Structure 1
Amino acid sequence: MAAKKARILIRGGRVIDPANRLDAEVDVAVAAGRIAGVGESVPGDFRPELEIDARGLIVCPGLVELAAHLREPGHENKATIASETRAAAAGGITTLCCPPTTDPIIDTPAVVELIRQRAERAGHARVVTLGALTQGLAGEHLTEMAALKEAGCRGVSNAQSPILHTAVVRRAFEYAATFDLTVFIHPEEYWLANGGCAHEGAVATRLGLPGIPAAAETAAVARDLALIEHTGVRAHFCRLTHSRSVQMIARAQYDGVPITADAAIPYLYFTELDIADFDSQFHVYPPLRTQRDREGLRAGLARGTLSALCSDHQPHEADAKLNPFPATEPGISGLDTLLPLALRLVEDKLLTLPEIIDRLTAGPARILGLLEQGTGTLTPGAAADITLFDPEASWRIDPTSLFSQGHNTPFMGWEVKGRVMHTLLGGRRVFER
């Protein structure tokens, strides 16, 4: 890994920068860790110390991952900040957002600082955090959100831990609005979910698995939309799984409600039918839904109702997936496969290449409030976080090709296209194939 921030000229690549509506074969200049120029704005007297031949490659802003459970601190048996940020760099991801589900919970500035220091020490990718909405994610007492924002949190969330009292949700939204913080919502009605592990329907009934009805999500979306309108808080809906939820979000956006939403890669490919063999690699939470829901998510992503695509990265040790299906730990390791699986949506003609790159760069950066700071763009003066990938390079997803400490993925064995060749972080090459 090169530590020096050299003067770099990236030559001849197809540069796609959705934030600046750029899609052209131009050069990109990097100096002092920042974008010095793109195309005609490259200084005429620019003298690079290093040239990267990008012919045949796509050059785009570093990818931004909205949901990366890095497991550290507290669960280092599953993964570490060093291992997962290294996997991120290999996957072209330069910025990751860590939910507040560490141990200890991210509910004090001290934990925010701990994660920041460890990420900086590892040096592979930037890590930003979400603070806990309630103390200990217990759903009762609000955190000191102002202190968390001051420490660098990009928003607040109660993750998938329930807040049982709607009055507490209202107060939390009001408090967050006071400090101009985005609330990241995982919509689920606790009593309807009732500890289930599969979508409530014919498949779960046949398998004898406890089901979670679609209404557990849609009821929560409806409640939270009402509270968002009442309090004026800015909100982001995380990992939607149901087509009706996407319709509700689209209507609220049309009405001017300040909300965004995202989808996670597994829900765009798999459905409830994939759990028929009790394969725990398909155990995710919320559960995989119906084929109609999958198509609804895909349509929402294409329309822009869902403005970001993420991996919902949750690495596990092998033992976590060895019990009977309901007793296994949910989640998929996804940093290594985010880019090629997103590119597959281009092959499916669901989105164009610039559109899918937008959902992986400017879209999530905007949600995190980082776009204005230059993250997710190649704007001159912005930090030189750049990904270069070969869209035609084929490879097989197997344990030897994964950098993450977690190998828990139902995509194992898939042949995919799209391979990262170089990743720059602040002008440093943090990955080179």
Structure 2
Amino acid sequence: MSDTPDILFQNVVPVSRRHRDRESLDLRIRDGKIVEIGKKLNSSESEEVRNFDGACISPGWIDMHVHFREPGFEHKETIETGSAAAAFGGFTEVACMPNTNPPIHTRDVVEFIKKKSENLPVEVHPIGCVSKEREGDSIAEMADMQAGGAVAFSDDGDPVSNAQLMRVALEYSSMLGMPIINHEEDLKLSRPGHMHEGKVSTRLGLDGTPGIAEEVMIARDLLLAEFTGGHIHIAHISTAKGVELVRRAKADGVNVTAEVCPHHFDLTDEEIEKRDFDTNCKMHPPLRTAKDVEAMIEGLADGTIDAICTDHAPHAIEEKEVEFIYAPNGIIGLETAWGVCVRRLLKPGKLELDQLLRKLVVNPRKILNLDIPKIEEGATANLTIFNTDQEWKFEERHVKSKSGNSPYLGSKMTGRAEAIYNKGRFVLNTL
């Protein structure tokens, strides 16, 4: 990383609404702003020059669902190490979930996170709790957290199980113009499940979590959103029926948006059997069936699913290297998200590049009411430089997170983020 307010990017292909002809151009940045776009711009002695040989450049990507663990669980991840993982993955902004210690349930914790990240190249947006202490009993101080910089509310890591509390949360948050992000899980139906309930769990002799544990909660939240007019955002959707519920609700005019993680449109529950109970395949919602994977892709293609996020969830090595039933749920995902998106969505033609970038640039920011970066003269430079064809293998040396709990270690990737530029800082990613 370098503080480089003055820089010239040569031979980049802008991918944005204003640049549809996909021609190679140069971008000059001064004091963190795009001041000139053109062909074969002359460089000055005062600026750094970077030639990207035809790589794509887009407005900076955002991951609206990460767990950076700080404060309280710094042995898993810190805001600094999480931001380094985000930068390697091509993300210039992230929104971090509140299951920390203390939880992000008061303005001072929101402001702590903002302060800790202010000198990093990745913008970190805190998501405040729905309930005080994330205990699900009473509403947290939403307006105060919004004033401190919170962008949404969630008790993620746990669902808001109390329907009355969720009703009140949707009513309050609608007055603030902010979404409620719920971890969709009926705990009475899901526990003590350790993977998706189905044929594979039966063969392996593991307690399973059925899809209906997610779908029942989605259905409840959709009805509450319809009743209150509040904005419900469905976190890490994973079942075919869940996608269909959201699709119908959108058709009925319900204020609902949804996100999906790369592992849920790529991997299935069979990985647990193939990999001999590898705990890096244990997450919640769990990996589900091939039918569910295809439903995620269809939902992305037809607009039912608005955003792609990672649910980046670091755990220390000693926490994951235990028997499968004792391992915590969650995997890291920031460093590998683009490679999975290219392989599963772009290369097979399931999504066009413009469609894919909307899930990473535009839609998440609309959901969180954040400004959408632009590639135009006079705009603040918030940029991701990437390619869609470079083949590489994801290895331990590429892990920038403090934890390494990924099912993709050793996997071949296609496409990578080459660099980001944000907040006057340039980060070049090298393999």
Task: Give the TM-score taking structure 2 as reference length.
Answer: 0.93
Aligned pairs for 1:226-245 (under 5 A) are 226-245=223-242
The residue that corresponds to 1:98 in the other structure is 96
**Contact map agreement 1:131 1:148 (CA 8 A) in 2:** yes
Rate the CA distance shift 1:188–1:39 in 2: closer, same or farther, 3 A. farther
- The amino acid that maps onto 2:118 is E
Following the alignment from structure 1 to structure 2, what is the Cα–Cα distance between the partners of residues 114 and 269? 36
Match of 1:255 in 2: 252
Match of 2:28? 29
Aligned pairs for 1:325-344 (under 5 A) are 325-344=324-343
1:243, distance to aligned residue in structure 2 (A): 0.8
> 2:216 aligned to 210, 214, 219, which one?
219
What is the DSSP-based 3-state SS (H/G/I as helix, E as strand, rest coil) of the residue aligned with 1:60? strand
Q: Give 1:159 shift.
A: 0.9
8 Å Cα contact 1:204-1:210 kept in structure 2: yes
How far apart are the structure 1 equivalents of 2:118 and 2:367? Answer: 23
Output aligned runs, 1:102-141, within 5 Å. Answer: 102-121=100-119, 123-141=120-138
SS in structure 1 at match of 2:2: coil
Q: 5+ unaligned residues in a row in structure 1: which ranges?
A: none
Q: 1:279 corresponds to which residue? A: 278
Does 223-232 or 48-57 show the bigger shift?
48-57
Residue of 406, 411, 427 corresponding to 2:424: 427
State the partner residue of 2:350: 350
Instruction: Say yes or no: does 1:153 pair with 2:150.
Output: yes
What is the Cα deviation at residue 432 of structure 1? 4.8
For residues 43-67 of structure 1, the C-alpha deviation after alignment (integer angstroms, 9 at most, x for no partner) is x999682333232211111210111
Alignment match of 2:67 (pick from 53, 64, 69) = 69
- In 2: Cα distance, 1:2 partner to 1:272 partner: 42
Q: Would you identify which runs of 4 or more consecutive aligned residues in structure 1 move more than 4 Å?
A: 37-40, 44-48
1:280-319 matched pairs, under 5 angstroms:
280-319=279-318
Structure 2 counterpart SS, 1:89 = helix
CA distance in 2 between partners of 1:56 and 1:46 (Å): 18
* CA distance in structure 2 between the partners assigned to 1:134 and 1:166 by the alignment: 12
Q: Does 1:210 align with 2:215?
A: no
Report the RMSD for the aligned CA atoms in angstroms: 2.0
Paired with 2:356 and 2:193, the residues of 1 have a C-alpha distance of 33
Contact in 2 for aligned 1:100/1:129 (Cα 8 Å)? yes
- Specify the code of the residue in structure 2 equivalent to 1:259: V
Tell me, yes or no, if the aligned pair for 1:374 and 1:382 is still in contact at 8 Å.
Answer: no
Q: Does 1:392 align with 2:371?
A: no
Number of positions where the alignment pairs a residue of Structure 1 with one of Structure 2:
425
Normalized against structure 1, the TM-score is what? 0.93
User: Conserved in 1, the CA contact under 8 Å of 2:121 and 2:425?
Assistant: no
**Helix, strand or coil at the partner of 2:15:** strand
Listed as ranges, the matches of 1:370-389 within 5 Å are: 370=370, 373-375=371-373, 377-389=374-386
8 A Cα contact 1:239 1:264, kept in partner? yes
Distance 2:57 2:5 in 1: 18
Q: Residue type matched to 2:125 in 1? A: V
SS of residue paired to 1:57: strand
Q: CA deviation at 1:206?
A: 2.0
Identity of aligned residues (%): 33
8 A contact 1:91–1:338 mirrored in 2:
yes
Instruction: Note if contact 1:268-1:298 (Cα within 8 Å) is conserved in structure 2.
Output: yes
Q: CA deviation at 1:430?
A: 2.8
Which letter does structure 1 place at the counterpart of 2:207?
P
1:91 Cα offset (Å): 1.8
The Cα shift of 1:23 comes to 5.1
